[in-house]
Amino acid sequence: MTGVQLQFSNTYHLLVHPGVEVIEKAGGLHKYMNRKGPIITDSGGFQVFSLNNITSEDGPELKQKKKRNTDDAGGGSLLKVSEEGTIFRSYYNGKKIELTPESTVQAQKKIGGDIIIPLDELPPYHVTPERLKASVFLSHRWMARSLQEHLKDPRQQAMYAVVHGGTDKELRKHSLDYLSSLPFDGFAIGGSLGKDREEMVEMLGWLMPQVPDNRPNHILGIADPESIEALVPFGCDTFDACNPTRVARHGTLMTTDGQIRITQKIHLDDFGPIDPKLETIPYSRAYLHHLFKQNEPLFLSLASLHNLYFMNNLMKVQREKIMRNEI
């Protein structure tokens, strides 16, 4: 509907509910939700490590995630991290769930994604060099085990390695060189990429020219308009993030002339389209304003759909610029 070419689905949440056995019984995730296009699934590692307690080492994204997981509404908890893998408590029913490199691959086989991601550890931004190095090496061992498990039964699925190293360029290069030596089908760029967009762009501007161009790549968790326009020229292929739908649910709509706050009274009798320069949902700003003010659940879906239309049009524009050699 909105032009999404590659849909990202979250293994952690699917493990918690409805459970991978239900999805397998349905015939896989494509049939379960009637998705005809390709799907990429993650290992669930980011969500699991975001369950850990907030520390001074965490960057802003993990702090925000952890706060949501530990508020009065309850949440899961990370119980153990070891060489074998992780154990966490479900936010849904309190059940203990073990994630190992092998079990996350097995789960993603049952889910049936087209591209799967191996288990990796997510260290915080302000971590010591020693802790960061240990984390990168642990992730490498986990990913090697994941790849071995995957190759037992490929099922026409592709597996992307996750390049780690935080903002340490030497570790990033080591991670890329090691993972490039293994038969992964592509690369995902993960871990902390910096404290802000400027540091992230500088890091990826240095890293991406070294990523083998004969295999596709994916930028994990980054997909705001400004970042996409900055990163596509570096050769970044695909992106994912909850940002467009998250800000939509809180009343921010993306348009070709910039963001608008649909919550503002100025939109009470604004009967024009949300974005006159974009083919999007056929509703006025006034209607969306009304739905938000009345706490109508329909607003959440319509606003999210609009922002997805906007983001996919943005990517379409980037592809057209590439074809015209403007990027």
- How far apart are the C-alpha atoms of 143 and 119, rounded to whole Å? 6
Amino acid at 83: E
- How far apart are the C-alpha atoms of 300 and 285, rounded to whole Å? 14
Q: Please identify which of the residues 58, 240, 270, 275 carries the catalytic annotation.
A: 240
Tokens 């994941």 belong to 146
Closest CA to 99 of 110, 84, 109: 84
Q: Please identify which of the residues 42, 58, 168, 275 carries the catalytic annotation.
A: 42
Identify each DSSP E strand in 177-322 by its residue range: 186-189, 217-219, 238-239, 252-253, 260-261
Which residues neighbour 94 within 8 Å (Cβ) at sequence distance 6 or greater? Answer: none
In contact, 203 and 167? CB cutoff 8 Å: yes
In contact, 184 and 161? CB cutoff 8 Å: yes
Pairing of strands 115-116, 252-253: unpaired
Q: Is 240 a catalytic residue?
A: yes
Amino acid at 207: L
Which residues neighbour 24 within 8 Å (Cβ) at sequence distance 6 or greater? Answer: 110, 111, 112
Q: Which residues are catalytic?
A: 42, 240
